[in-house]
């Protein structure tokens, strides 16, 4: 029910209630007034009768009292007059006429208690008022009834019963009530008309405000509410118009600013409020994502978090995240369909070896098969995936492509993908500098852990990764062999041919050592011409074979210098963890002891540590 109907119904209901109350009160008041008026008339008639009877008795004409009563009965409005004698009067003067005897219990009661009695007989056609008034002996007033009656003062001498019609009063009450009801009805009608004229602008303005708010919820803030009055209602209309204009301009400016950040212009049609909120929320999510990845420790954690965002924030099921190794012209598959380190699945694996075959990597531009199907020849969906589309985003770092994010989706999901692509680009834009920072930190850290000349790990790397190496060996319950190697008579090379020649020899040696062991083994330049090799999951016997292989390879190595060819030999000592010692660094000392024993016993040989080589008197 609208406000207009509510006001009308409330006014009519109030008017009806007021009229009903007025009718009830007026009728009740007239009834009470009629009873009081009738009482007064009955008392007056009774007093006239009392005085007349007393005078008649004093004057000795009491026998003519019937005429008086008859004349009173003929008075308009009076229906009957009946006088009864009390017992004291009967004893003194006799019973009187037959008409003066008691007719009902009411008169007997009045004669006994001396109290007047009044009642109304509400007959539908002719309501009658009856009053029975006692005559009480008193020495006061004129004439004095005590002159004729020999009774104590206060004795009830008799009573008079008067009945009278009050029908005319009822008619008067109804007439007056009708006039009052009509007057009130006219007044309420006029008040309703005035009220509607006063409330109408408020109701119309309220309806216009309601329509404006409804349109605003749907994103339409073009409200124009007419100002119908110059009071508070008119001010409300003005203020709502100003508010809608302010909201429209504010949201439009916000959307325009956010669109600049997203580098995407949203469609003009649609819900302005929902679109703006969605765009702002997208930026907030991207900002929170950036804050999270900035606190991640490694690139792997960042890739994992980006994978989670693709799955949960953008509801993408199939995707690939690649990292570009620009120095080697290669790409590494970091995440595929949410699996960290999974093999290349949605592209030709050739891109991993020759990164230029990836169109997004080569051009640095977004590759969108939604716009141009078949644009990238490296896209390689499964045989049953001909309905798939893909879009690849290059992750730019310092003007170069540092990674590629590829989305793969069925063709029917193209509209949904287009909607969130601008927000995903923000995510990738926020990810790029963080990844670059992590990569630079990794590069600096790697440079800090490698020997600049040979490219081998250095002693600092060993100190940092010792706990990892030991924990892995203990977890696998295997052995780890430690080889200490030292070129024989290397100082003579520097003294004879110079330090450049010595550096050449060390580089050649580092290459031989790296080629002689597995990828899982570690070759470390321990210091000067001394090297260390850690053979993981290798017992003493196998370590001896590897050491002998290295010794032979070094002996056969020929290093070409400017004017000559050098051939050098190497001495090797090794020990096994935890067989020889349950402490890693003690095992290193044992391998070093074996190395020096090899040098002392002729060089160009391999020796395994034995307990007899360790003496407390000598420190190595």
Whole-angstrom Cα Rg for the chain: 61
Cis peptide, bond prior to residue 578, ω within 30 of zero: yes
Strand partners, 318: 408
Of 285, 325, 561, whose CA–CA distance to 427 is shortest? 285
Q: Extract the tokens encoding 256.
A: 């325009």
Residue pointed to by tokens 């990764």: 465
Alpha-carbon 279 to chain mean position: 18
Cα–Cα distance measured from residue 424 to residue 289, given in angstroms and rounded to the nearest whole number: 11
Distance CA 524, CA 92 (A): 159
* Crossing angle of helices 167-217 and 3-59, rounded to 10°: 170
Write the DSSP symbol of residue 365: S
Structure tokens at 545: 């074979």
Measured CA to CA, the distance from residue 437 to residue 432 in angstroms comes to 9
**Dist. CA 334–CA 322, nearest whole Å:** 5
**Tokens at residue 274, please?**
């929902």
- Rounded to the nearest angstrom, the gap between the alpha carbon of residue 234 and the centroid of all alpha carbons in its chain is 35
CA-to-CA dists, residue 358 to 79, 323, 605, angstroms: 126, 12, 51
CA angle 266, 270, 273 (to 5 degrees): 85
How big is the chain, counted in residues? 620
Q: Is the preceding omega at residue 488 within 30 degrees of 0, hence cis?
A: no
Q: Which residues are catalytic?
A: 529
DSSP 3-state of 459? helix
Q: Percent helix, strand and coil across the chain, each rounded to 5?
A: 55, 20, 25
Give the DSSP per-residue string, 527-540.
ETTEEEEEEET--H
């Amino acid at each position: 029910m609208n406000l207009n109907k509510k006001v009308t119904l409330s006014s009519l209901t109030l008017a009806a209630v007021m009229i009903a109350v007025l009718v009830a009160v007026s009728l009740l008041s007239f009834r009470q007034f009629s009873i009081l008026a009738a009482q007064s008339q009955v008392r007056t008639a009774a007093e006239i009768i009392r005085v007349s009877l007393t005078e008649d008795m004093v004057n000795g004409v009491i026998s003519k009292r019937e005429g008086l009563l008859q004349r009173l009965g003929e008075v308009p409005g009076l229906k009957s007059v009946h006088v009864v004698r009390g017992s004291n009067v009967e004893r003194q003067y006799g019973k009187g006429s037959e008409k003066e005897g008691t007719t009902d219990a009411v008169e007997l009661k009045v004669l006994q208690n001396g109290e007047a009695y009044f009642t109304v007989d509400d007959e539908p056609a002719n309501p009658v008022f009856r009053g029975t008034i006692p005559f009480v002996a008193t020495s006061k007033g004129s004439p004095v009834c005590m002159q004729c009656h020999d009774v104590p003062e206060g004795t009830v001498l008799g009573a008079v019963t008067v009945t009278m019609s009050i029908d005319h009063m009822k008619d008067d009450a109804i007439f007056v009530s009708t006039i009052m009801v009509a007057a009130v009805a006219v007044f309420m009608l006029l008040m309703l008309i005035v009220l509607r004229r006063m409330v109408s602008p408020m109701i119309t303005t309220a309806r216009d405000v309601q329509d404006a708010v409804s349109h605003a919820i749907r994103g339409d803030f073009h409200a124009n509410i007419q100002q119908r009055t110059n009071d508070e209602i008119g001010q409300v209309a003005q203020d709502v118009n100003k508010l809608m204009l302010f909201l429209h301009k504010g949201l439009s400016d916000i959307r325009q600013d956010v669109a600049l950040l997203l580098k995407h212009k949203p469609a003009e049609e649609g819900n302005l409020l929902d679109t703006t909120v969605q765009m702002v929320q997208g930026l907030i999510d991207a900002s929170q994502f950036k804050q999270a990845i900035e606190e991640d420790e490694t690139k792997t954690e960042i890739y994992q978090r980006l994978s989670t965002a693709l799955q949960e924030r953008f509801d993408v099921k199939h995707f690939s995240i690649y990292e570009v190794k620009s120095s080697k012209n290669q790409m590494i598959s970091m995440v595929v369909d949410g699996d960290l380190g999974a093999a290349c699945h949605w592209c030709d694996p050739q891109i991993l070896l020759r990164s230029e075959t990836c169109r997004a990597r080569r051009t640095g531009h977004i590759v969108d098969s939604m716009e141009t199907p078949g644009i990238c020849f490296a896209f390689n969906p499964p045989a049953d995936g001909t309905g798939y589309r893909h879009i690849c985003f290059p992750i730019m770092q310092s003007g170069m492509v540092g990674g590629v994010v590829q989305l793969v989706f069925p063709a029917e999901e193209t509209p949904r993908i287009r909607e969130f692509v601008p927000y995903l680009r923000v995510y990738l834009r926020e990810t790029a500098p963080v990844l670059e920072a992590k990569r630079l930190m990794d590069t600096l850290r790697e440079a800090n852990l490698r020997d600049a000349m040979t490219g081998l790990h250095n002693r600092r790397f060993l100190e940092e990764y010792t706990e990892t190496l030991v924990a892995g060996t203990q977890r696998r319950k295997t052995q780890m062999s430690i080889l200490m190697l030292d070129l024989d008579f290397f100082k003579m090379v520097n003294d004879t041919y110079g330090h450049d020649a010595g550096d050449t020899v060390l580089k050649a040696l580092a290459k031989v050592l790296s080629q002689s062991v597995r990828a899982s083994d570690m070759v470390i330049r321990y210091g000067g011409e001394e090297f260390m090799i850690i053979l993981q999951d290798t017992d003493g016997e196998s370590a001896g074979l590897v050491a002998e292989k290295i010794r032979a390879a070094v002996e056969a190595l020929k290093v070409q210098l400017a004017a000559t060819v050098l051939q050098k030999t190497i001495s090797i000592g090794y020990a096994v963890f935890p067989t020889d010692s349950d402490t890693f660094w003690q095992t290193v000392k044992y391998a070093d002891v074996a190395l020096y024993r090899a040098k002392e016993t002729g060089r160009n040989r391999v020796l395994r540590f034995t307990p007899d080589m360790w003496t407390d008197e000598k420190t190595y």
